[in-house]
Amino acid sequence: MTRRLLLLAPLLVFAVGCGIAPSAEGKATYAAREAARKVAQRLYGQQPRTAEEVGRIAAGMDGVEVLRLTGTSTHDGDGIGVVVRTSGSATSGAFEPEEATVRRCFSFRVSPRSEWGEEPGDVDCPDGPPLSFAPPPAPPRLPDEELRAKLPRVPEGGRVDEAEVRRALDALDLDPAIRTEVKADGGRVGVLLAVKGNGFDPQDCLLARVSPGATDVWAPSRMQRMPGEGGCSVANALDPQPAPH
């Protein structure tokens, strides 16, 4: 058996040298396609987005150029068609290494019906420069100190009035972009102030709880504010999650 493998070894080296192994250009193209696939995965989800938001997110990824957008919203019609240009580099060959760097264009669609990990299609690169996008508007500041000052203080043994908490929030004259939730439970009232996140980075939010003998205002930890962690919820205001380790 060992003798047979020794006889086959030169044949395997010859086969690789004859092109059976992927070329550097082929490997570089694969790397460029994988970069485009990561863009599609970053945009995957059920959150409604405009074409501007889709383009801004894609263009913000390292090494990605957005060349074309079709459609107006992920939830209208067929969603948003995206054409991006990415690059890939690779080396092939053990004895005489060949290096290649390619720039390729790929297309994919962003909609609630898109599939996770779907392979982007190869397309010819459209003429013209990459699209540019204005930075997103700065989110409104969450009024930490103002909220702390306005919320009622209820003495030990007293009763928390949900209507009074709501009046305190109304008195803050909050920016319309700040979402508020108020919930009473077990003699306490929880409050959430939050601004819309991008679905990837930590969301900005403030929590408060008014209880007999204590009124607390705090921001959850970065980990708890990540999408899917549930930190920015009125439930977390009423019954805070344990601190991450």
Domain ranges (residues) in the chain: 23-123, 144-238
Distance CA 94, CA 21 (A): 10
Dump the DSSP string for 188-215: EEEEEEEE---SSSPPPEEEEEEEBTEE
pLDDT of residue 95: 65
Quickly tell me which residue has 């397309």 as its tokens: 123
Q: Is the pLDDT of residue 12 over 50?
A: no
Cα 179 off chain centre by: 20
Q: Give 162's DSSP letter.
A: H
User: What distances in angstroms separate CA 128 from CA 65, 133, 174, 230, one per listed residue?
Assistant: 12, 15, 43, 43
Average pLDDT in the chain: 88
Distance CA 202, CA 65 (A): 25
Distance CA 72, CA 130 (A): 18
Vertex 42 angle, CA 65 and 124, to 5°:
35
The pLDDT tens digits for 68-78 are: 999 999 999 99
Other Cβ atoms closer than 10 A to 221: 14
Q: Is the pLDDT of residue 223 over 80?
A: yes
- How is the beta sheet containing 178-185 ordered, strand by strand? 178-185, 188-195, 205-211, 214-218
Predicted model pTM:
0.64
The pLDDT tens digits for 167-221 are: 999 999 999 999 999 999 999 999 999 998 877 789 999 999 999 999 999 999 9
CB 190 within 8 A of CB 238: yes
